[in-house]
Amino acid sequence: MFVEKLTEEQIREIMNVISDDGSVTIISVRTYDSSFEDSLNISNVPEVKAEFQEDVETYRLFDYNIRGFHNAGAGSDYIYRKMMLDWFGPEYAIKYLMEN
């Protein structure tokens, strides 16, 4: 719902903030149809291929978490949710509280 509204610039900002050393090379940003994972939740979820500390990894951004990070810094999900709250406001917080 919210993640689908992120711009490529915002996605790049997220990836740089959650990296341990603050420098990540974004190789590609694309969306994929997640319907193969959950037929009830068909949406376009950003997928980021990034190079962290010389390792190339793939990350999928969801409304409340990021999947696939191994070299991201501690607390990445918390930082990610804080950034999302800043961009999407109280509606984001209410949805998070209702779903979790």
- Residue scoring higher pLDDT (83 or 69): 83
Question: In the chain, what's the furthest Cα-to-Cα distance?
Answer: 39
Render pLDDT for 55-67 as a digit per residue (tens, 0 to 9): 777 777 888 888 7
Q: Could you tell me which of 18, 19, 65, 21 has the C-alpha nearest to residue 46?
A: 65
Give the whole-angstrom CA distance, residue 1 versus residue 4. Answer: 6
Please check whether residue 34 is in contact with residue 52, taking contact to mean a CB–CB distance below 8 angstroms. no
pTM of the predicted model, to two decimals?
A: 0.73
Render pLDDT for 15-32 as a digit per residue (tens, 0 to 9): 877 776 556 666 667 665
